[in-house]
A and B are shown apart, each in its own frame.
Chain A
Amino acid sequence: MLHIINKSPLTNCALDSCLRVAQSGDILLIEDAVYAATSGNAFEGKIREAMGRFKIHVLRPDLEARGLADRIIAGILPVDYGGFVELTTTNKNCQSWL
């Protein structure tokens, strides 16, 4: 299953809830959720812990917009819009944690 998150982990508990409830699958961080993919963020520990269970992707254009494309935590996979579409088609279902 694909989990899509679009909120910053430091202002909203969407990513936290996702990590608590979901067991495995793909996670795609978009919009303000891309901050969760950056090193030095207070959420980094939780993301690293989740990397064992999930494959974590981040939408690169959103990261670039925020000036953080050079801060991706190693092991998180940057994707472009094509990659975004591919993730939605290769997974049998998808949830947006709004």
Chain B
Amino acid sequence: MSDIKKFMFVNRKAPYGTIYALESLEVVLITAAFDQDVSLVFLDDGVYQLKKGQQTKGIETKNFSPAYRALEGYDIEKLYVEKESMEARGLSEEDLLVDVTVMGRAEMGELMDQQDVVLSF
């Protein structure tokens, strides 16, 4: 198909403190139905969305982190984490609940350049 576009979702907010992370995830799940070339990028505090071991009982909020593991079933397999953001938060790949590609800021900038549509959350 020639009408496939490259969509990138840029996630820069921590989960729970604001609604952005959850909204982004919902839009991503809906977008998956349109068979586009979708990538998800996690940088700045957005990396925290993927932290393992989230337990939200105490704040009486839905823990939506398990849904990131469902993305593979939605054929969304391009997940990128910016290395500098991850390291500035004391996190490593083992702390994340899904397999991601870790890349430096320059490489990530290039990847953004290549997109047709960038949605920022």
The answer to whether A and B touch in the complex, with CB atoms under 8 Å apart, is yes
Query: How far, in angstroms, from A76 to B50 measured CA to CA in the complex?
Result: 24
Determine whether A6 belongs to the interface, using a CB cutoff of 8 Å to chain B.
Answer: yes
Query: How far, in angstroms, from A35 to B18 measured CA to CA in the complex?
Result: 14
B12 cross-chain contacts in A, Cβ below 8 A: 11
Question: A67-79 interface mask toward B, CB cutoff 8 Å, 1 = contact, 0 = none?
Answer: 1111100000000
Check if B45 sits within 8 Å of A41, measured CB to CB. Answer: no
Determine whether B121 belongs to the interface, using a CB cutoff of 8 Å to chain A.
Answer: no
Query: How far, in angstroms, from A6 to B45 measured CA to CA in the complex?
Result: 14
Instruction: Bin chain A's interface residue count.
Output: 20 to 34
Closest 4 CB pairs between A and B?
A40-B90, A61-B58, A32-B17, A67-B53
A selection of 26 A-B contacts at a CB cut-off of 8 Å is A8-B17, A10-B88, A11-B14, A11-B44, A32-B18, A32-B45, A35-B14, A35-B45, A35-B48, A39-B90, A40-B90, A40-B91, A60-B58, A64-B54, A64-B59, A65-B16, A66-B16, A66-B51, A66-B54, A67-B53, A67-B54, A67-B65, A68-B51, A68-B53, A69-B55, A71-B90
